């Protein structure tokens, strides 16, 4: 089937993460006259599956096999190392394709909004997680881990991931794909105390039992909870699901002793950061104690200083704005109605709904936007991928195809040692050279 035939619906999806792939899958399953180009600024596909999901959670990354199967369809193409904004404009894509879907995720950290948050030593979870996961943007981050105490702000699974990756030993991470540039500083760090800080209480925390439970079985690190911060045990009977499981884990942690293991992980509830302290770099966090009223966090006015040399806020993300695309400041995503931004322009995944939900949440999102496109858009005889190739050739761009990516992947697997599944490359030029070799 020709990509520029008048019966072909040409769709460009910007972003090769879960949302982009689920949309491509839904579009091409429903109608084989749809041609999809999945464009990503990186030479590697799969978005946060590669650069966000924790390196020691390999089984979660297996979902990428489903995306590979989508990419093996003749009417789906991966176009890596092509950035919307840097290499091509939205207006250009709008003339080449019948519909454009923004699946660009939400890579920017939500700011803490407190004094001192720009001090060296405050590193948002976006860069920090990207660094230990070999994201090319953050390979040179080089955080100073020769500090005794760290604050990880937030009570979601990203905070738990960051704390666990910092706490695990080299042996515990042997089967992971932790970035090689991060392994030495992490495993040679001076960190002895890791604090996970939550504004509200244990019942309001959003971490899941599996992730929380992993904190209580670390080789070198003991998880500690102040029993006074846990609700009366009589309440446990009234709990169900994740809340009940979390409470059982927290009660077990409350029985641990600080001296049980060399490193301590403190789960601190009912505190909110008021200021990051320090002159040249961070040396502490001023915290205000809080209480919860009707589910909301209320300050008590009582403050304390937590001495820390590194602060990693894990408090959510925002989509990067794109010129001429309306933006919803409140939710940090594109303004849209059921995935539609305007005629011919759609969004999906975190770019559509903000940074919430699991990988699987992006699947119904992808189906919804695919259904809308198929119902609303008719082929207009656009050039599609042939037109994109002309622009790529004119501008001398080095795009990476799916076959190229498979070469990069094979080299990563070959470079791995021991039980590690791969040793990831983090340098774009190196990956492009490999792809072209």
Q: Name the site residues for ligand FAD (rule: CB under 6 A).
A: 14-20, 39-42, 47-48, 52-53, 57, 60, 83-85, 103-105, 129, 158, 161, 349-351, 357-359, 362
Which of residues 349 and 387 has its CB atom nearest to ligand FAD in the complex? 349
Q: How far is the CB of 30 from ligand FAD (least distance, A)?
A: 19
Please identify the residue of the shown chain whose CB is closest to the bound ligand FAD: 17
Give the phi and the psi of residue 288 in degrees, each rounded to 5: -110, 135
Bridge partners of 345, per DSSP, are 100, 342
Q: How far is the CB of 360 from ligand FAD (least distance, A)?
A: 6
Q: How far is the CB of 39 from ligand FAD (least distance, A)?
A: 6
Which of residues 163 and 306 has its CB atom nearest to ligand FAD in the complex? 163
Alpha-carbon distance 249 to 52, whole Å?
25
Which of residues 57 and 281 has its CB atom nearest to ligand FAD in the complex? 57
Which of residues 52 and 121 has its CB atom nearest to ligand FAD in the complex? 52
Q: How far is the CB of 257 from ligand FAD (least distance, A)?
A: 30
Q: At what angle do helices 125-132 and 180-187 cross, to 10 degrees?
A: 110
Which of residues 165 and 222 has its CB atom nearest to ligand FAD in the complex? 165
Q: How far is the CB of 60 from ligand FAD (least distance, A)?
A: 5
Which of residues 53 and 287 has its CB atom nearest to ligand FAD in the complex? 53
Query: How many CB atoms are closer than 10 A to CB 243?
Result: 16
Which of residues 104 and 336 has its CB atom nearest to ligand FAD in the complex? 104
Which of residues 15 and 313 has its CB atom nearest to ligand FAD in the complex? 15
Give the phi and the psi of residue 224 in degrees, each rounded to 5: -125, 135
Q: How far is the CB of 225 from ligand FAD (least distance, A)?
A: 23
Q: How far is the CB of 194 from ligand FAD (least distance, A)?
A: 17
Judge whether 17 and 49 are in contact, CB under 8 Å: yes
Alpha-carbon distance 183 to 173, whole Å?
9
Paired tokens of 414 = 């070959």
Which of residues 103 and 183 has its CB atom nearest to ligand FAD in the complex? 103
CA distances from 397 to 47, 233, 390, 393, 428 (A): 21, 62, 10, 7, 13
The H or E element that residue 76 is part of is strand 76-79
Judge whether 166 and 150 are in contact, CB under 8 Å: yes
The residue behind tokens 């070799």 is: 437
Residue 258 burial by Cβ neighbours in a 10 Å radius (0-12, 13-18, 19+): exposed
Judge whether 310 and 147 are in contact, CB under 8 Å: yes
Q: How far is the CB of 363 from ligand FAD (least distance, A)?
A: 10
Q: How far is the CB of 104 from ligand FAD (least distance, A)?
A: 4
Which of residues 349 and 384 has its CB atom nearest to ligand FAD in the complex? 349
Alpha-carbon distance 426 to 181, whole Å?
9
Q: At what angle do helices 18-30 and 362-376 cross, to 10 degrees?
A: 40
CA distances from 301 to 208, 274, 288, 291, 389 (A): 30, 11, 6, 11, 61
Alpha-carbon distance 375 to 370, whole Å?
9
In the three-class reduction of DSSP (H, G, I as helix; E, B as strand; rest coil), residue 56 is classed as coil
In the three-class reduction of DSSP (H, G, I as helix; E, B as strand; rest coil), residue 290 is classed as strand
């Amino acid at each position: 089937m020709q990509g520029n035939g008048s019966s072909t619906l040409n769709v460009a999806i910007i972003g090769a993460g879960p949302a982009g792939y689920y949309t491509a899958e839904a579009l091409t399953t429903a109608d084989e006259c749809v041609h999809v180009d999945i464009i990503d600024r990186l030479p590697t596909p799969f978005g946060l599956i590669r650069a966000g999901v924790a390196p020691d959670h390999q089984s979660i990354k297996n979902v990428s096999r489903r995306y590979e199967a989508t990419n093996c369809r003749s009417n789906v193409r991966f176009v890596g190392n092509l950035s919307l904004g840097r290499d091509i404009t939205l207006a250009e894509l709008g003339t080449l394709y019948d519909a454009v879907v923004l699946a660009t995720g939400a890579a920017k950290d939500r700011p803490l909004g407190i004094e001192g948050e720009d001090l060296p030593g405050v590193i948002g979870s976006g860069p920090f997680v990207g660094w230990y996961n070999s994201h090319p943007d953050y390979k040179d981050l080089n955080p100073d881990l020769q500090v005794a105490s760290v604050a990880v702000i937030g009570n979601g699974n990203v905070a738990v991931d960051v704390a666990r990756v910092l706490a695990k030993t080299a042996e515990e991470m042997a089967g992971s794909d932790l970035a090689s540039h991060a392994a030495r500083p992490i495993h040679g760090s001076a960190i002895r105390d890791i604090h996970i800080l939550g504004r509200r209480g244990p019942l309001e925390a959003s971490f899941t039992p599996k992730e929380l439970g992993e904190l209580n079985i670390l080789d070198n690190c003991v998880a500690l909870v102040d029993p006074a911060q846990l609700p009366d045990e009589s309440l446990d009977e009234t709990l169900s699901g994740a809340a009940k499981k979390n409470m059982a884990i927290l009660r077990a942690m409350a029985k641990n002793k600080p001296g049980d293991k060399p490193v301590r992980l403190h789960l601190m509830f009912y505190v909110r950061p008021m200021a990051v302290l320090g002159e040249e770099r961070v040396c502490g966090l001023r915290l205000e104690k809080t209480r919860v009223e009707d589910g909301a966090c209320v300050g008590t006015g009582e403050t304390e200083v937590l001495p820390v040399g590194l602060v990693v806020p894990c408090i959510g993300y925002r989509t990067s704005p794109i010129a001429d695309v309306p933006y919803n400041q409140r939710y940090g995503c594109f303004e849209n109605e059921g995935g539609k931004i305007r005629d011919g322009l759609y969004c999906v995944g975190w770019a559509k709904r903000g940074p919430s939900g699991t990988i699987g949440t992006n699947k119904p999102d992808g189906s919804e936007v695919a259904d809308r496109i198929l119902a609303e858009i008719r082929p207009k005889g656009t050039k599609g991928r042939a037109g994109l190739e002309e622009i790529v050739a004119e501008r001398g761009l080095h795009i990476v195809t799916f076959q190229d990516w498979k070469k990069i992947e094979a080299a990563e697997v070959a470079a791995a040692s021991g039980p590690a599944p791969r040793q990831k490359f983090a340098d774009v030029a190196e990956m492009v050279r490999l792809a072209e070799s």
